[in-house]
Amino acid sequence: MKTQTSSKEPSNLALIGRLARYRPAVFVTCGLLVGGAFYLFPLVPGLVVQQIFNGLTGNAPAALNLWGLLALLVGSVLARIVALFGGVSAEVTLKQVSSALMRQNVFEYILHRPGARALLASAGEAISRVRDDADEVSFFVTWTFDPFGQLLVMIIALTILVR
C-alpha cells in the first residue's frame, strides 16, 4: 500500500525557520557569533597590519602610534578568541536543542501511532535512524550561517581590495 504525500511539502528553508522560531535567541546568537568569529574577525588583524605598515613607510599618517596599533592588533586577536569560544558554545547549544526537539517530535509521533503499526522497521534500525537523522539535520541547521558569513566577508574583502 502506498502512502500519499501532500503535493506541497515545505522547503528546507521553511523547516529551518520553524526550528529557528523554537529558540530564536540561540539561533540568532549562533549566527552572529559564528559569522563574526569565523569569517569577519580574520579581516581585522589584516587591516591593523596595513595601518602599521603605512605608519612605518610614512606614506599614510596613522591615527595611533606603532605601540597603539600593536595593542589594537593584540586586542583584536583576544576578541577573536573570546568570540570563537562563544561561537562554538552557541553552535553546540543550537545543535543540541534542535536535535533534541526533532527526537522528541519523532518519539511523540511514534507513541501516537497504533500499537501494531508503531514502527515500520526493527527497533534497533529505528533508534539508529532517529539518532543519525536528527544529528544530520541539526548539523545542517548550524551550517546555514556559513554561506552568509562567507558572502559578507567576500564583499568586504573585495571592497578593501578595490580601494
DSSP state of 10: P
Give 1's pLDDT tier (boundaries 50, 70, 90): very low
Q: Tell me the helix, strand and coil percentages in the chain, rounded to 5.
A: 80, 0, 20
Check residues 140 and 119 and name the one with the higher pLDDT: 140
Residue 107 CB partners (closer than 8 Å, separation 6+): 130
- 100: cell is 533534541
| Exposed/middle/buried for residue 91 (C-beta within 10 Å: 0-12, 13-18, 19+) | buried
Tens digit of pLDDT for each residue in 73-120? Answer: 888 888 888 888 888 898 899 889 988 888 888 888 888 877 766 677
The span from the first CA to the last CA of the chain, in angstroms, equals 65
State the pTM of this model.
0.72
Tens digit of pLDDT for each residue in 34-74? Answer: 877 778 888 888 887 777 777 777 765 556 777 887 888 88
